[in-house]
């Protein structure tokens, strides 16, 4: 089915572990984005990608790594998870216009 999917939907991990959140879109949108959403902060951009093999930092990139070897996939890795990274993570895709399509989100808890 066409759309944007994220996996896992829920994840519990421990401090110091590496975690990868997956994002896959079927629209062939050139732009993909990762956001985190926390109470009181709204949506904050972590990383974005304008095309395959092109990525750039957003507002809060520290502690995260991204890659984009294929247009449809944009995984986000927490290299060594910390409690402050407990959050809801949204992936989105879109064209150069202001319209973005969001995935269902991943709720991550770091113990």
Partner 1 sequence: GQSLEQPSEVTAVEGAIVQINCTYQTSGFYGLSWYQQHDGGAPTFLSYNALDGLEETGRFSSFLSRSDSYGYLLLQELQMKDSASYFCAVRDLKDDKIIFGKGTRLHILP
The DSSP output letter for 72 is T
- Interface with partner 1 includes 45 (CB under 8 A)? yes
Within positions 49 to 68, which residues make up the interface with partner 1, using CB under 8 A?
50, 56, 58-59
Task: Report how far residue 92's alpha carbon sits from residue 101's, in angstroms, rounded to the nearest whole number.
Answer: 5
- Interface with partner 1 includes 11 (CB under 8 A)? no
- Interface with partner 1 includes 36 (CB under 8 A)? no
User: Coil, helix or strand for 66?
Assistant: strand
Between 35 and 85, CB nearer to partner 1 = 35
- Interface with partner 1 includes 42 (CB under 8 A)? yes
| 79 torsion bin: left (phi>0), alpha (psi -120 to 50), beta (else) | alpha
- Interface with partner 1 includes 100 (CB under 8 A)? yes
């Amino acid at each position: 089915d066409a759309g944007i999917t994220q996996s896992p939907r829920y994840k519990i991990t421990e401090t110091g572990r590496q975690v990868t959140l997956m994002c896959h879109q079927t629209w062939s949108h050139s732009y993909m984005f990762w956001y985190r959403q926390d109470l009181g902060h709204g949506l904050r951009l972590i990383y974005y990608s304008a095309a395959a093999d092109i990525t750039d930092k957003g507002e809060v990139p520290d502690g995260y790594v991204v890659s984009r070897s294929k247009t449809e996939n944009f995984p986000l890795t927490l290299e060594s998870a910390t409690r402050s990274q407990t959050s809801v993570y949204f992936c989105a895709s879109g064209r150069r216009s202001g319209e973005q399509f969001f995935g269902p989100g991943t709720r991550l808890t770091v113990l």
